[in-house]
Amino acid sequence: MNSGETLPERPAQPTSPRAGLETLKIDAAKACLGKALDALFKAQEHLNTAADQGGEGVSKVIDGINQQLRGLQREVSQVVYRLGKGT
């Protein structure tokens, strides 16, 4: 292609204001879910610290809580992934 040549223009793809709004909503939801996921990981760190400082009984209880927390982390991650895929 010579420097004087121009690229053919791509046909404009009409987007409705509603489609744009839905994209904004999805992006906002993904951002909020990302923050929630970060908070879940931070909570897990705090629980692990508490388990290290507590006795054996506290550690066993926290292990159960951590299992539930990992389940929540998986679920939130799956929702973020699905939003990213558009499903």
**What is the predicted pLDDT for the residue at 85?**
87
Domain membership of residue 52 (yes or no) is yes
Q: Please choose, from the candidates 48, 30, 41, the residue with its C-alpha nearest in 3D space to the C-alpha of residue 72.
A: 41
- pLDDT digit string, tens, across residues 3-60: 566 655 655 555 677 778 888 999 999 999 999 999 999 999 999 999 999 988 899 9
Reply yes or no on whether the pLDDT at 78 is more than 90: yes
Domain membership of residue 11 (yes or no) is no
> Domain tally for the chain?
1
**Domain carrying residue 50:** 36-85
Domain membership of residue 15 (yes or no) is no
Q: Please choose, from the candidates 42, 25, 33, 21, the residue with its C-alpha nearest in 3D space to the C-alpha of residue 79.
A: 33
**What is the predicted pLDDT for the residue at 6?**
61
Domain membership of residue 2 (yes or no) is no
For residue 23, give Cα distances in angstroms to 14, 30, 31, 37. 14, 10, 12, 21
